[in-house]
Amino acid sequence: MELLDAVKKRYSCRAYQDKPVDETTLNKILDVARLAPSAKNFQDWRFVVVTDKQTRAELSIAAANQAFVAQAPVVIACCSTINHWMRCGQPTGSIDVAIAMEHIALAAVSLGLATCWIGSFFPDEVRKILHIPTHIHVVELLTLGWPADKQPEMKRLPLDAIVCREKWAF
């Protein structure tokens, strides 16, 4: 699939088929995370891939009871390990992880799967469930699986509402 098609077909999937993701497909998807750019090439992304049903159920509760988190055959806890702020004032870790996550999301679409970013979760609870040390940042969760729903209409601002030229004009 062309990259632009994958970008257009990606949506937040909140209903998954009761079908596991085979290891070959899963590894193919995860491997593209490695290719993401990162600040100083820190590659400050670590992924805890969860397929165990009971653990997914616990993560769903930690994700403010979002039931589809338990339904997805794979839940990935996306973490960063380094406390480093760029000169611009932004932290490197969450940005690095976010880029790698979107690589995963687009690779998933290209192979017929779907994902949903999960930011509504309690990190301390996720740490406890997955034995993640306290100094590690759990940046986001990502659900992954075969979609059981259809892509809804994309609601986005028009280009001229988000882009201006030469000087700030919003």
Tell me the C-alpha distance between 80 and 78, whole Å.
Answer: 7
Torsion, CA 47, CA 48, CA 50, CA 55, rounded to 10: -140
Cα atoms in the 13 Å half-sphere on the side-chain side of 68: 21
Which two three-digit tokens encode residue 54?
């009971």
Binding mask 10-49 for ligand FMN (x = CB under 6 A): -xx-x-----------------------------------
Q: From the CB of 37, what's the least distance to ligand FMN, in Å?
A: 18
Q: Which of 46, 137, 38 is nearest to 86 (CA)?
A: 38
Q: Site map for ligand FMN, 77-116, x if CB under 6 A?
A: ---------------------------------------x
Among 4, 41, 153, 154, binds ligand FMN (CB under 6 A): 154
Which residues of this chain interact with ligand FMN, rule CB under 6 A? 11-12, 14, 66, 116-120, 140, 154
